[in-house]
Every structure is written in structure tokens, then in C-alpha cells.
Amino acid sequence: MSIFKAILGICDTKPLAETAWESRDGQAIVDLKAATMLTAKGGAAYLKGKGLEKPVLVVRGQDNKLYAYQDRCTHGGRKIDPVANEGKLKCCSVNHSTFNYDGKPLSGPAKHDIKRYETTESSGRLVIKIT
């Protein structure tokens, strides 16, 4: 990530196409066949709009599990990106707070966990319970 992107808080993670997911009844439901960026370990996308109060980051972890988080650092409110091949997340700011997959801070100025959402995977769909 360049210093310019860090100053502006610009992440590398791209939004998931609106046709690949829906939001209803307090859940975001992702069609995993349409979400090709989530197939490889370290792959990520974010969900925004469709009635979601805050953006949601979805990451395919190094352990091959799917994780979902409120896409906001608890220090400065910037978005979050996965760190390639390291099994952690980082804030897209100059300070680069990092978090483990449980959402707990590992380094940087963030002192609070990022919100992690409960996920279930079934029949080619990822269901994220937004609470």
C-alpha cells in the first residue's frame, strides 16, 4: 500500500457485486458461486448498501474459513483489509492497526476489537448474521 493510499484510508479490497448478495431479516446472504474473489485463501470483498447500516468485510481466511466483520477500524474508523498470507487484518490508515481473525487488536493504536459477525456456510451460500 502506498503512503498516499494510507493517508486517504484507501483499501485494496473491492465491493462485492450487488447481484452476488442480498440483505434481509437481519442477514446478509452471499452467493458464493458469484463471489469468485472469496474462493482463494486471503480473498476478500465488502458489502455496502442494501439496507446495511455499516459496510461488512468478508474474508476467506488462511484456514479456509469465511469471516465477516464490520468494516471499520476501532481506532480511526478507516476500512480494513486482510494481510496476504499472514492470517490477520489491518487498518487502511497510516497507523496500520492490525487484528487477528477473532477481531482482537494485535498492534497499532487500536485498543478495541473490531466487530465480528456470525457466519454459516451452506448450499453455496454464506449467511452473515448482522447484529
Q: Residue 59: which H helix or E strand, with range?
A: strand 56-60
Cross-strand partners of 129: 27, 118
This prediction's pTM: 0.91
Would you write out the chain's pLDDT as a tens digit for each of its 131 residues?
A: 566 666 666 788 999 999 999 999 999 999 999 999 999 999 999 999 999 999 999 999 999 999 999 999 898 878 899 988 888 999 987 778 999 999 999 999 999 999 999 999 999 999 999 97
CATH number at residue 46: 2.102.10.10
Q: How far apart are CA 50 and CA 22, in angstroms?
A: 7
- Domain extent, residue 55, equals 3-129
Output the pLDDT for position 110: 93
Domain count, the chain: 1
Residue 107: all three cell numbers together:
498492534
Q: How far apart are CA 58 and CA 129, in angstroms?
A: 12
SS3 (DSSP) at 67: strand
* Cβ atoms 8, 23 nearer than 8 A: no
* Cβ atoms 69, 105 nearer than 8 A: no
